[in-house]
Structure 1
Amino acid sequence: MQSLASVLSKLPGNQRAAHPKNEAEMEEHAMWVLRWLAVEGNSNWLLIFDNVDQYSSTPTESGDGYDVSEFFPVADHGSIIITTRLARLKELGEFHPVRRLASEEAVRLLFKSSGHKMRGNERGVATDADSINLADRLDGLPLAIVIAGSFISNTGVSFARYLQIYEESWRDLQSITEPHRHYSNGNILTTWMITYSEIQKVDPFAVKLLFLLSYFHNRDIWVGLIRCGLKSSNTPDWFRTVASNEIRFLTTVRTLVNFSLIETKEANGYYMHPVVQDWCRHGFSEIDEGDKDKLKTIALASVGHAVSLDSEIEYWVLQRRLLPHATQMLAVLESGWPIPQDPSVLQAVYQLGHLYSNQGKLKEAELMYQWALMGQEKTLDLDHPSTLLTVHSLGNVYSDQGRLEKAELMYQQALAGYAKILTTYEKTLGPDHMETVRIVHDLGDLYQDQGKLEEAETMYRRALTKYSELLGPDHPHALTTVNWLGNLYSDQDRLKEAGTMYQQALTGYTKTMGPDHTFTLGAVLCLGNLYQDQGKLNEAEIMYQKALLGYEKALGPDHTSTLATIHCLGNLFKDQDKWREAEIMYQRALTGREKVLGPDHKSTLTTASRLGTLYTDQQKLKEAEAMYRRALSGFEMALGRDHTFTLAVIGYLGNVYRGQCKLEEAEEMYNQALAGYEKALGPDHTSTLTAVDCLGNLYRDQGKLKDAELMYRRALAGREKALGLDHLSTLATVNNLGNIYSDQGKLKDAERMYQRALAGREKELGPDHRDTLLVADTLYSLATKSVVKTHRKHSPQRIINRLGYSTNMLLTPHPLVLATRRSDQPPKQEEEHEVD
């Protein structure tokens, strides 16, 4: 009324007093103005109702709600604009939502309001990173940008410093800043107070929900996410009232949408402006710390309990959607906020650790598991299944980080607890209860992690039988056990049995979960590893490429599973002598692992070591030495001088020195590796025997044939005992003994060794495998010295065609050639394959 009445004195021909004497006269003046606007032909006017923050289509008892249309002129001409946060006013006319400023526009406004001169490129786009960061943080909200510009103009601080103050002292900063020009609602602290008061009258629960939403990531909030907070056992009554009924929840959310405090998005999501979030968290003084703690607890429970099971279809899609919210929760926990000691909340924290672990974010996973474990040890028994599961998961993270001593401590603690629980469960729940079976399977995992393979097989077999009986053979639980059995058999070089398990798992996963599920891709990757071990390199490449394509699509190019597959492809290309392709894969894996895991992570150093092996094969010995030294330095720092990974790299360095004809340095490396293995693993361990075999190779290079023969005999006896007569490593030593006998002129003994090696490799690898053909070639070479029986199916021309070089090539005694002979190389160490 006052605003309309004030216009009367400015109308042409007005004879009335400029200032009304009373309320009745003021209303009369206002009506004169409305009648004048309605005069026929008088259409050149614009009437603006600015910041309408109250509305009611019917009179209210309190009188604080009104219908703004009552103040429209009775005419069908002229123009009216209403600015408001009340979305429901769109029924009065054409609706034009005022969106946030685009990034470039926001930066220009920031420079204009701060008085700074903008530096830009040829298109006039700002290039100053600090101004862009500040404008992005304020997310295009003009009021916040102008207030920032005003503060910067008045104080002379930089854009970067303002952003720092904004993050550290939000409320203090806003309380002393105003925009240059008059703004009727004052600064940001008071901007939404009137709206808040109106919402409080309409729906008090909507106000509580608004403050709850401020603890989530602002860009993608959805109904199902919030309702997961109901899984927490101790939530406020108002939240249960709102969230337990979806219609009630949507009605409450609509109140916030109607007041423009949140926006609707596609895919049933909502957006909340970050400055509104800042106001809710820091600028609103009427909510106490106790209520804030309750809101944080609900948010934490909602995000944690929303994490889906890995067995669900496309679980990774939801996990990626949850990651920004998990980051918000991580920031809350890192601020020192005490986690409520409630089992359901601690379970949510554990599941956030699982989320981060699945995404290859090991540091974040470690923090979540540690927080969950600290709470569970206080609120639950130390041998409670939830506590032990967290201990086991934390051990897996330590193992993935290469912190093997800490991992071992976790595994031992979990193992003792699980064994105790299993005994209890078998008595109280029975052997067929699902919880009992789960413990059996987890025990199998622990035994395998500790290298207790026989015990692991017993547990897996027992779990598989029960899962198949209770759930069916194609249930994900049963198939996971099948796949782990395949890994176990692969570790034991029981390759045929491993292949049966992998095929069964792959068929079952494809049927029940689809070809693109990460469980299916894991089985594909395992099959690729198996085919490579069996020398079926073309089949292995098909599996690896399929796994890589699937992982890149599901998890992204930088996920640890994707990078592990790339590393495996590097191994494969190396075995195929595709050295350029292998180097590209290794370099890609190395770059990705440096970025995701860090330069000193076990997997990063493993890739560096494999690059060294590739360079050795290419006789790029300087590059190989550089890679090995990098890997050696990292392993020594992370694992110690006596760790088996470190000793393996020492052995590889010995190979490089041998290739460089630095035989004394090579001998020093081999002896150092041998001593370390004997101390760490014992004299009969396969890694120890590998070092013995390498020393035999070196002594042969030095012409010390008796010493070489002694080494080979020791290696052969140990491998026959540990691995069996027909194991590939055993056959490699048999072939080496054949070389020594040939050098000594003991041709019959040499023939006997070569024939045994050939028969064994034909059996294990097939007649056309490269290693089989190499032995056949050696036999034909020996035939030039004496009468030697050869296999008819291995004709000289067939060998030449398959291997691509002439026979007798491998008789060259130069160390550079000998270093490339597969029979002279140590079997691949622990890092050969990386299975998801």
Structure 2
Amino acid sequence: MMRLLWFNNDGDGDFSLTEFSESEIPIWGEGEVTFKDLVDGTSKNKAGYSKIQFCGEQAKRNGLQYFWVDTCCIDKSNAVELQEAINSMFRWYRDATKCYVYMPDVSRPHSDSANGVSESWESTFRKSEWFTRGWTLQELLAPASVDFFSKEGEFLGNKTSLERHVCERTGIPVNALRGSPLSEFSITERMSWAASRETYRQEDKAYSLLGIFDVHMPLIYSEGKDKALQRLREEIDKASKGIQREDFSVVFSLSNVSDVEHFVGREAELQEIHKALSGDGSRRTVVLYGLGGIGKTQLSVAYTKRQKDSYSAIFWLNIKDESSLKQSFAIMARQISQEYPLALRLSGRDTNESLDEVVDAVKAWLSRPNNSRWLMIFDNYDNPKLPRNSDPAAVNIRKFFPESYQGSIIITTRSSQVRIGHSIQIRKLGDILMLLYLRKN
């Protein structure tokens, strides 16, 4: 059931509530007038009434008789109705003929409109509070037609004509604004669109994203934001079933890796790494070997920064010894679980056996079908298990590789005897410059 406002064309311009079983009616944003205010006949005393009046008049100008405003068309005291409305809201926006965005913090007097003055209001438009609210994300993405209006009721433009401003302000790709299926965008990317948006009730941080991810779940307004977001991620994980490309995206981070502010040179090596790792998704491995402190790690950092958009997930592992490597897998597991809480199903026990369990679970996740766009960097593999290395602490790196032959791997080592994949010797920059000089002369 959906409750709508009916605009009386023949009378005094007043409104009345009408109930429908389904909706193909235009939708508008928030206001201060509540459902109870309309029922009690006290809505005209509220400051937000002017917004509803504007919406009704604009709908009339567009030849539309019914319109919807969330704050007064939903009886929020009725938990069942509220739950149905929130779980249906994205569909209602999607099916709307028009969506009006009234921006009370953007001024464009009629004289500015007539004279073609735009610079001042465009700057204010980009700073509007509307872009900071959690619920307005679906108002922007779901409808095919979104019209923006100033506080004076002047038409500012629509989602198409203001596309550049909206993209730059929100970071949302053009294709998403133009109606491409949201499933074409990774879970991580869609989450990023809402990251800086706020909601009045903390649980709405999750509930406002139900339509963005095409999932449904019960509303529990006492559970808190973290629990609500956890349940949202679980619903996303169940719906996706772990087989789509976006289900393997993990936020890129080098927080555990030392980095230099300005990396210079090594362009030839960067290009060689990229060429060696480029392919059809089958396993590609590059070994960077050279003296300690020569820049192998920083070269790997530079490569990941440059090519991060080519990978769904990038993981950095310290392979100084087997214990360090297992701890790195534990960090990987936490990164994966933050995105997909049900993906690994670990016991969580803090024992050596559980670390082995973590390693196996992460390897299995990396081996799942279609999860082929990840990159693992095994850094500091300086004690490799080789025929002539009798050190019992030497590490057999191969047993930490995922079983399926997919993904990309970079190994940094001092040993020239690590023969896995494509080897690149990393020389001192001075040696490289000297070689170039000799070749030119």
Query: If the length of structure 2 is used for normalisation, what is the TM-score?
Result: 0.31
Greater strand content: 2
Higher RCO (CA-CA < 8 Å; seq separation 6+)? 2
Greater helix content: 1
**Structure of higher CA gyration radius:** 1
Query: If the length of structure 1 is used for normalisation, what is the TM-score?
Result: 0.19
